[in-house]
Amino acid sequence: MAAQPLDIKYDEPEAKDVRSLQSGSILDYAAQHKGIDAEVAEFLAQSSNVEPRTIDEATNKRLRWLIHKRILLVMVVTYFAQTLDKGTINFASIMGILEDTNLKGQEYAWLTTCVYIAILAWEFPTNRLIQRLPIAKYLGFSVMAWGAVLACTATCKNFVGLIIVRTLLGIFECVCQPAFVFLSTMWYTRDEQALVIGSFYSMNGFQQCVGGLLAYGIAHIKDAAIKNWQVLFTLYGCVTFVWGLFILYWMPDSPMHAKCFSLEDRLLMAERVRKNETGIQNKTFKMYQVVEAILDPAVWAVTMISFTNALPTGGLGAFSNLIIKAFGYTVLQTYLLAIAQGVIIMVFLFSSAGLSRRYGQRLVFAFIYTLPNVAGTIVFLAVPTTPHTKVGLLLAFYCMQGFGAVAVLNLAIMSGNVAGRTKQVIASSLVFIAWAVGNAIGPQVFRDNDGPRYVKAFVVHIVVYGIQMVTIVLLRLYLMRRNALKRRAQAITPGETSNEDTGENLTHKHAFDDLTDKENPDFRYVY
C-alpha cells in the first residue's frame, strides 16, 4: 500500500499529553514519564510557544526537505567517502601496491580483515559514545581522523605499516553505520527509513562508478614523483579530512540543538517521529534494556542476517577486481567494468527500498533479493572460464550484488523494531559486530591457492545464503506473532499493513518515554 499522508492531531488522550507540556512544568512531565530524557522533556515543554496543529502533507514535505539538506546530505556524502576510502585498497591491488610493499600469500586478504577486526573491537564503545556524545561532533571528528589515516597509507612500505593504518581506519570508520541508523530514527518516520538507509547505502554502488573512473584517470598518470596508488590514498585522505570539518559546521546534533531551524519547525520535526515509538534520544544506560536485548530473538535474527549477508560481501569487495581481471579483461577494462557493477548495486538498493516502502513488506523483499545472489553463485560453481563464457560469468558476478539490498532492508527492520535507546545500542552493536565478523571472515575464505575462480569460497557463500533465507522467514513469522499478541492484549482489530497502525487509533502517548518495544503497548512491529 502506498504511504498515507502524515496526519498528526492533538485530540483525545494525546491532547492531554501535549497540553501537560504546555501548562505544567518540565518536572511534572518528567515525573509522569519517568523514562524520558531530561533534555527532550525540556525541549518538548517549549511547545507552549507553538499552537497545536495537524501536520498536513505540504508541511510534512517541507520539513522533510529541510531535514534532507542538513542530515541526509551529510549521511550520503560521508558514506560515499567511507566506501570510496575503504575500497581504495581494491583499486590499489591492481595498481602495484602488492609488488611495491612486497605482499605475499594471504597478506593482502588480511588488509581487509584487519579493518573489520578493529570494527569488531570498537563497535560497542562507538555505539555507547553515539548515545552519550553530541552525535554530529563525534561524527565530524571521526571523519577527520580517518581522512588523516588514509592519507598516511601512501607512506607505507611494507605489510606491517599497512596493517597499522588499516586497523586505525576501521576504528574511525565504524562510527558511520550505527550513527546513521540512529539519525534515521531521530529525524525520519519509520515509513521513510528504508529509503533513507537505502540512499546512503547506495553509495556502495556509486563509489564503484566514481572509484572506477578516478582509478582509470590516475592510472594514466606518468612520471609522477609518487606511485599511482600513493596518489590515490593521498587525494582521498585529504578530501575526507576537509569534509569532516564541514560536518562540524553544517550538521546539527539533534532537533533540540538544531538552531539552523526555527523553534516551531524543530518541534514539528519531533512530532513527525512520534509514531515511530522509538523516541529522539536518551543518554542514560539502562541495564534492564541490555538484558531484554540479549534475550530478544528478533535482535538475534537481524544479527544473524547481518552476518550471513556480510560474509560474501567482505570477500567479493576485496577480490572483485582480481576475479573480473581473471576472466580475461585488461586492467583498464576492469576499472570500467567496476562502473557497471556500481550501477547494478544502486539499482538493487533503490528498487528494494522503494518496493518495501510501497508494499510495506521489508522481509519479503529481503528474501526475494537474496535469490539473485544464489543464482549468480551457482553459475560461478557450474560454468568454467573460457573466452566464450567470460561475459556470462561477468553477468553472474553482477547478480551477486543483491547483498546491498538485503543489508538496507535488514537495517530498516532493526531501526523500526527496536525501541528503548539502550536496547538500540545493544542491538546496533550486535548487528554491526556480526557485520564486521562476516566481513573479516569473507576475504579469508578466498584462499590464495584456490584462485582465480575460488570455488571453495563460493560453496561457503551458498551455505550462508541458505541460512539467511531461513532466518528471514522465521523472523517474519515471529514479528507477526508479536503484533497479534499486542493487539489481542488491547482488543484491537489488526491494521491493514505491516507498517501502519491504520484503524487501531493508537495514542502514541509514550513515544518519547524511552520504553522498549516490549514495554510500550502502542508499539507495532514492521516486517
Query: Would the pLDDT of 100 be above 60?
Result: yes
Using CA atoms, how far residue 167 sits from 51, 117, 119, 242, 343, in Å, is 52, 8, 8, 22, 29
What pLDDT does residue 277 have? 66
Domain boundaries, the chain: 59-281, 282-490+518-526
The set of residues, in sequence order, having a beta carbon less than 8 Å from that of 386 and lying 6+ positions away, is: none
Cell readout for 382 is 557450474
Q: Which of 409, 420, 412 is nearest to 131 (CA)?
A: 420
**Which of 92-96, 207-211, 231-235, 301-305: highest mean pLDDT?**
301-305
User: Is pLDDT above 60 for 30?
Assistant: no
Q: Give the pLDDT confidence score for residue 8 in this predicted structure.
A: 42
What tens digit of pLDDT does each residue of 135-146 get?
999 999 999 999
Has this prediction a pTM greater than 0.85?
no
Is residue 221 scored above 80 in pLDDT? no
Task: Give the pLDDT band of residue 97 (cuts 50, 70, 90).
Answer: confident
Q: Is the peptide bond before 52 cis (omega within 30 degrees of 0)?
A: no
Looking at the predicted structure, is the pLDDT value of residue 326 above 80? no
Q: Is 517 in contact with 525 (CB distance < 8 Å)?
A: yes
How many whole angstroms separate alpha carbon 294 and alpha carbon 127?
Answer: 16
Domains 59-281 and 282-490+518-526 share a fold: yes
Residue 343 has pLDDT above 80, yes or no: yes
Arithmetic mean of pLDDT over the chain? 80
Asked whether residue 303 carries a pLDDT value surpassing 90, the answer given is: yes
Q: Please give the residue that has the higher pLDDT: either 280 or 124.
A: 124
Contact criterion met (CB below 8 Å) for 258 and 281? no
pLDDT: is 395 or 244 the higher one?
A: 244
Yes or no: is domain 282-490+518-526 CATH 1.10.3720.10? no
- For residue 136 the three cell numbers come to 554530529
Using CA atoms, how far apart are residues 425 and 178, in angstroms rounded to an integer? 9
In sequence order, what are the residues at sequence separation of 6 or more whose Cβ sits closer than 8 angstroms to the Cβ of residue 432? 119, 123, 127, 174, 177, 178, 306
What is the reported pLDDT for 39?
Answer: 67
* pLDDT recorded at residue 276: 66
Does position 205 have pLDDT exceeding 90, yes or no?
no
Nearest to 135 by CA among 281, 287, 304, 339: 281
Confidence check: pLDDT of 175 > 80? yes
What's the rounded mean pLDDT across residues 159-183?
A: 91
Predicted pLDDT at 46? 66
Among 154-158, 253-257, 510-514, the least confident range: 510-514
Class in CATH terms, 59-281 = mainly alpha
Q: What mean pLDDT is predicted for residues 221-237?
A: 83
Q: pLDDT tens for residues 451-466?
A: 666 778 888 889 999 9
Q: Is the predicted pLDDT of residue 283 greater than 90, yes or no? A: no
Residue 389 to residues 327, 372, 380, Cα–Cα distance (Å): 9, 19, 11
Whether residue 5 is predicted with pLDDT greater than 60 in this model: the reply is: no
Residue pair 108/93 in contact (Cβ under 8 Å)? The answer is: yes
Minimum mean pLDDT range among 117-126, 204-213, 258-267: 204-213
Per residue in 410-457, pLDDT tens?
988 988 888 888 898 899 899 988 988 888 788 778 776 776 667 788
C-alpha separations of 19 from 13, 16, 29, 136 in Å: 10, 5, 10, 31
Higher pLDDT, 307 or 283: 307
Cα separation values, 430 from 70, 130, 443, 515, Å: 28, 15, 21, 20
Residue 474 · residue 301 · CB < 8 Å:
yes
pLDDT at 359: 85
CA-CA distance, 60 to 54, in Å (whole number)? 10
Going by pLDDT thresholds of 50, 70 and 90, the confidence category of residue 102 is confident
